[in-house]
Structure formats: structure tokens, C-alpha cells
Structure 1
Amino acid sequence: MKPRVSRRFTRPVLSLLAGLAIVVTGAFSARAADATIAVAANFASTADILAKTFKAESGNTVVIASGSTGQLYAQIKQGAPFDAFLAADQIRPALLHKDGAAAQAPFTYATGLLALWSPDPDTIREDGATVLGRALFERIAIANPKLAPYGAAARESLTALGLWPTYEKRIVMGQNIAQAFQIVAAGGAPAGFVALSQLLAAPENLHGSHWVVPADLHAPIRQDAVLLPRGAGNPAAEGFLAFLTSPLGCAAIRDAGYQPRDACK
């Protein structure tokens, strides 16, 4: 007859096992975290992709809240519950740091590329400056230059080409670069200045034709990120910002139509 094996445990053993379960569960909970990141509208779709990859790599969850850089900055100043800020410029993160409203110094995570775009494949078949110079567009969409860096870059580019007086009264303005793209996509203007990243992420039927605006026509659209006080010590917030400059993060940023930070090249 085979000996019976007792499955009963003494109280000290049960207490020890329960304690181990608590330790293991607590360790897992400590690793898993979440954060809410304020992200400039132009980078929102890329941030969503990065957030999914980051969660797969780390187990931490990042929630993306998008809007124009100016609007998000105002919300942060008013106490909005964001853990980090990915702006479309360098100015607002620098102001937050100067005012003591940032947990760390800002850093550049990407440089944006501006494009003149039309959903019509035949509209921009040659140099965009030549197309603009013909003044054939009765309306042209840009983001608000006072709120959105891409809008400011569009105005600078038209000014550099000597065409701002021609188009100033033809502008259809979106509050951010996402709205500028939507205006053109919906037919509110035959063409507009948008982020190259938006075109790469757009459905094929919207690819149309475009011209990447030469970088020497406008100030670099350097996009800075900054950790906010609410995110200090949060592994999701701090980890996500670090992920932006990792080889995997840099590759995703480059594929999305941006120039990643110099250290990534």
C-alpha cells in the first residue's frame, strides 16, 4: 500500500505562504503603474503607438490626452492632472521649468517636419513654392500661429517666400495642427500646411500630393518633453519619457515622420 501524503499545513506554514503571496502581489503592483501624458496634437497618433509598445515592454499604462501646445500649457498652469507634457515647441516646457512647475529640465524628443498638402494627387506635382506662387488656392488651412508651432512655421514659410500678404486673408485657421488637417480632409480648403507625420498616418485615400517644406524656410520645430511634479516618482511617467530616447522609441519616432533627437541618429 502506498503511503498517504498529507496535504494539510500547519498554521505557521499557512501564515508563511499567505505572507509570500502578499509580497509577490505587492511586488507586481509596484511594477505596474499608469500615467496621463499631455501630448501636442501633431504627435498624438505617434504617442498612441509608443504607448502601446511601452506597455508591452514595461507593463505600465500611459493615457494620452491631446490638444494644442498652447491649450495644454494653459491647462497645466491651471492644475490639470497630467504627469508629463510632450509639447510641439520648446517654449512652454522651458517656461514650466523656469516657473518651478516641472520636476526635471526639458529635453528634445523630436523635430517636426512641415508639409504643404492637398488630398488631390494632381495639385502639388512640382515644387511647392512654385505652386504657392501661382496663388491658385482661394483658401489654405494652417494651425493657429499663436497656439501651434506648426502654424507659426507655416506663417514663417509663407513670409520667407514673400507670399504672406497673398494668403493672409485666405487663411482657414484650425486651433491646432489636427484641426488644420481635418479642414483640408473635409474639403474646407483645397490645401493646407500640416505635419508630415499626419500624412504618413492618414488613410491611403487621403495621401494626395504634398511638398515637404524646406527646413531653412522656418525655425526648427523642436519638440520638448518635460516631467511634471505629479509624475515625479511615477515609473509609468518617468519610464515613458526615457522610452522616447531609447533605440526602440527613436525608431518609432523616425518612422512616424519626425527627426528623432540627435543622440538617436
Structure 2
Amino acid sequence: MLVSLVALGLSSAALAEEVQVAVASNFTAPAKVIAADFEKATGHKVVLSFGSTGKFYTQIKNGAPFDVFLAADDTTPAKLEKEDGIVANSRFTYATGKLVLWSAKADYVDAKGEILKKGTFAHIAVASPKLAPYGAAAVETMNKLGVYDALQPKFVTGENIGQTFSFVSSGNAELGFVALSQVFENGKLKSGSGWIVPANLHEPIRQDAVILTHGKDNKAAAEWATYLKSEPVKAIIRSFGYDL
């Protein structure tokens, strides 16, 4: 889906540049689609790197040459803003994530998540709550349901939501808390079974984007940020199960 250069206020005569984008693992699939469309629309090149928000923060503080950061939370970009690590007024929420308890097995996870209370499984995958906001949301959910202490010995911990998804999809864990975007397509689960965690069981997973100081003079970085706010791109983001 291409967005017109006129609608974005982009100049077709602008020299193509490269933008380095650090992307939270949960946003891998939509980011690839959006980047491909952006390259077609602008001529710029997008280099995507995927990982945990916590690790990206450390890398950015240590001088990693990222121009734009698409985090899995709003607190890390806000922290970078306070530390003068971003372009002024560049922070905005590009998506609100949804958490899902998912299994690669059909009919394994019930529609109300009661399997968590039954505990009839050997392993449950959870992203590190210190590094991954989706992991923090999973821990908060289990605490609210009163099952955290009972389930903790069964945790298989991923350093980011991508690794956590791999644990479940490979069968190394019978189920796990992952981002809905990883298993959702065209309004339904792509495979397996799942329970979309009600929003009242954890703090909102507001995902903010920022142009980092490294990208302050990069025209492609500014245009990428503008592109993310366009209506066609918002439609792509919604199609992967995010709220806006």
C-alpha cells in the first residue's frame, strides 16, 4: 500500500538517504510491510533492527547509530527525551499493543484463559519483564489473576517477545504470553489457540516512536516518522491487531 508523496509532503526530488530504525520485536511483521512501502514511496532505504526495548536503550546510550526508535513502551522513549537523547517534539504513540496467551496447538488455550488457573502444562513462555514491556504486562496479568507464584517455576524466559514467540511456536513451551500482532492476521488468529488478555489486567502497552539525536539531520528519519502517522499506515498497523 503506497502513500502518495503529496499527501506526506515529501519531495520526489529529495536525495535518497538511509535510515537506521531500532524496532521492538513485537512490531517486526508490520515494520517490514511499512518499510517496503516507504522505500517504494520515497526512494529511501530502511535498515530495520529488531530486539528488546531494554537492550535497545542500552545500545542507544552506548552510541549505537540508530536514527529512529520504535519502542514497545512509552516510558523508555520518555526517558530518552529527558536525557536529551531525541529530537525535540519527535515523540509520539504509533500503536497500542495487545497481549495474548497463545499456544501453537489448536483448542489448547481456552477463550477465557482458565488454563492459567488449572496449570496443566509444563512450561509457559514469558518475555523478561525487565527488558520487554510485553513481559511486564504478562507478569502484571498473572499477579492480578493470582497465579504468578504457582506458575513462576514453569517460566521459560525470553529476552524479547520475538524469542518468547519462538519458544511457543517451536513447542519448547506449550503456551506463552506473546504480542497479538505475532499471531494475528486479517482479523483472526493465524494458527493455534489463544486468549486475548483483557486490557484491564495490565497497564496499557503504549508504544512510542522517537527520532534519536543521531538522526536529527537525516531527512529519511523525519520522513519515516511522518509516514508512520499517515492514515494508510495506520490501517496497516490496525490489521496486525494493534489499537491506535
Normalised TM-score (structure 1): 0.83
1:64-213 equivalence runs, <5 A: 64-105=48-89, 106-128=91-113, 130-200=114-184, 207-213=191-197
Count of residue correspondences: 231
Deviation at 1:30, TM superposition (A): 3.8
Unaligned runs of 5+ in 1: 1-26, 261-265
Quick check: 83-92 or 103-112, which moved more?
103-112
Deviations 1:144-179 (CA, angstroms, capped at 9, x unpaired): 001000000000000010111111111100000000
Q: Which residue of 1 aligns with 2:42?
A: 58
Q: Give me the whole-angstrom Cα distance separating, in 1, the residues matched to 2:192 and 2:33.
A: 24
Distance 1:228 1:104 in 2: 9
Return the offset for 1:123. Answer: 0.5
How far residue 211 of structure 1 moved from its aligned partner, in angstroms, is 0.7
Match of 1:184, SS?
helix
5+ unaligned residues in a row in structure 2: which ranges? 1-10
User: For residues 208-219 of structure 1, what are the structure 2 equivalents within 5 Å?
Assistant: 208-219=192-203
Counterpart of 2:216 (choices 225, 232, 236) is 232
Query: Are 2:28 and 1:40 equivalent residues in the alignment?
Result: no
Does structure 1 retain, via aligned residues, the 8 Å contact 2:183–2:189?
Answer: no
Cα distance, 1:107 vs structure 2: 1.0
Distance in 1 (CA, whole Å) between partners of 2:216 and 2:126 is 36
> Percent sequence identity over matched residues?
47
Amino acid of the residue matched to residue 78 of structure 2? Answer: A
Distance in 1 between residues matched to 2:111 and 2:83, nearest whole Å: 46
Greater share of helix residues, 1 or 2? 1
Mean alpha-carbon deviation: is it higher for 117-126 or for 153-162? Answer: 117-126
4+ residue runs of structure 1 moved beyond 4 angstroms? none
Q: Which residue of 1 aligns with 2:7?
A: none
Distance in 1, Cα, partners of 2:104 & 2:199: 23
Letter in 2 for 1:112: G
Q: Secondary structure at the match of 2:137?
A: helix
Structure 2 match to 1:255 = 239
Deviation at 1:29, TM superposition (A): 7.4
Read off the aligned partner of 1:125 and give its amino acid letter: D
User: In the alignment, which residue of structure 1 is the partner of 2:229?
Assistant: 245
Deviation of 1:134 after TM superposition, in Å, equals 1.1
CA deviation map 1:96-152 (0-9, x unaligned)? 110111112321110000000011112023311x22111112210010001000000
8 A Cα contact 1:62 1:237, kept in partner: no
Give TM-score scaled by structure 2 length. Answer: 0.90
Q: CA RMSD in A?
A: 1.8
Structure with greater Cα Rg = 1
1:220 to 204, 221, 241: 204
**Cα distance, 1:229 vs. partner?**
1.4
82-91 vs 97-106, greater mean Cα deviation: 97-106
Following the alignment from structure 1 to structure 2, what is the Cα–Cα distance between the partners of residues 254 and 94? 24
Distance in 2 separating the partners of 1:206 and 1:240? 29
